[in-house]
Amino acid sequence: MSPTDTRPAIAFQGEPGAYSHQACHEAMPDHVALPCATFEDTIEAVRSGRAALAMLPVENTTYGRVADIHRLLPESGLHIVSEAFVRVHINLLGVPGALLEDVRVAQSHTVLLGQCRAFLREHGIRAEIAADTAGSARHVAEAGDPALAALASDLAGEIYGLAPLARHIEDQSTNTTRFLIMAPKPDYARRGEAGMMTTFVFRVRNIPAALYKAMGGFATNGVNMTKLESYMVDGSFTATQFYADIEGHPDDRNVRLALDELDYFCTKLELLGVYPADPRRR
């Protein structure tokens, strides 16, 4: 981040060239991307005022849920103001002048390595686990070895001066990551052309069939729940918190009635964000 750049910052976890960096470029081009070492650092950058927004990955169509994010969101003090879907194209990046047949080892994060098994097996390339994708690209550039390549984004290749030896090699052609854009304050005034999403966490009361009864209000009021996940909290096998996404705005009558019914059966109900639905979720 240049000290002369006056644009507001959006923080992301990873090194320059990470897929979260790509998400910042695509979804918030009027912001300057601020790399952070961890998800906690990314959140703190917004809380401290170093960044106006945070870009956080929550799930991938191939890999599933991003670890720790659901635990961090309720504790962050931040609010979801947008979502973004980023198509994850994976490239085999090598030093300039290298050829595909030169490559013996490909480095990347374990998640990306798992998404390119077919390509690596076909070409006899050994997978080597590294801390992250962009860091792998940087290491390949520094090593200067034509037998070593990285699995990373187009942006990483541009930043570290690497050549694409093979493009879009992911096993699944629909490989997409969903990101949430977080801000210090909520914005409930907007309405999206593709509709609205509401995200919240809750804990149900310790009574028989509490979750079943709590969910009934969404069915009877015609509210579509697109996600419901549970995870343990407070170091206990019995303390369970649920994370949910629903279509609609809390000001909509059917959503308000459903949330009121949910709240009756809960010991905790906390809104994490109300935001326009990304048209690509359709």
Q: Which residues are catalytic?
A: 177, 179
Q: Which residues of 140-169 are buried (b: 16+ CB within 10 A; e: fewer)?
A: bbeeebbebbbbbbbbbbebbebebbbeeb
Beta bridge partners of 142: none
Using DSSP's 3-state secondary structure scheme, residue 163 falls into strand
- Measured in whole angstroms, how far is the alpha carbon of residue 275 from the centre of its chain? 16
Give me Rg for the CA atoms of the chain.
21
Tokens standing for 190?
A: 């907007």
Rounded Cα distance, 274 and 199, in Å: 7
DSSP 30-44: TSEEEEESSHHHHHH
Rounded Cα distance, 280 and 145, in Å: 39
Using DSSP's 3-state secondary structure scheme, residue 209 falls into coil
